[in-house]
Amino acid sequence: MRILLGLLIGGSLGAFIGYKGQCATGTCPLTSNPYIGGVYGALIGALLSAPFAARENASTTASLSKESSQMVTETHSANIVNLGSEAAFTTNVLQASKPVLVDLWAPWCGPCRAQAPVLERLAGQLGDAARIVKVNVDQFPRIASELGVQGIPTLVIFRDGKESERFVGLQTYETLKEALGA
């Protein structure tokens, strides 16, 4: 947004200088005509505003990441397991006697944050019929790689330690409930 603002302000100032200022030889790019002055002004404005835009985006991303990770860990119900180690994946997923829905997510992922309330609702309805295991792909990239995850959120249903169904992207409550047979 700041870069666009820099383009607009710089272009306007350059065009104004090009319109009002007249170079005696006509070779000065800023004062030869308003069109060339506008182009040069827009470029200068974008270059000057780019560092500020990058700094703003970095701080916004960091705050969103912090908020989303707090949101996810604070709202877990008893039927949602937040994976703590790679060994826990074997215990909670591959050796589970009931169906397991594995949510491969990341705190910076907007659709992942949108999927979290759906999973909370589903966990409340499942009771002991199934379990939900959340795997942060930033913390456990090897698990994500072994499962062939190419986009997140990826939701994988395991039955008897084997993958039975896979969903990529934001899914509805009804779709997941039907897939788990609940």
Residues carrying an active site annotation: 109, 112
Crossing angle of helices 2-20/34-74, nearest 10°? 170
Dihedral angle of Cα 92, 98, 104, 107, to the nearest 10 degrees: -70
H helix intervals, 127-172: 141-146
Give dist(CA 69, CA 71) in Å, integer.
Answer: 5
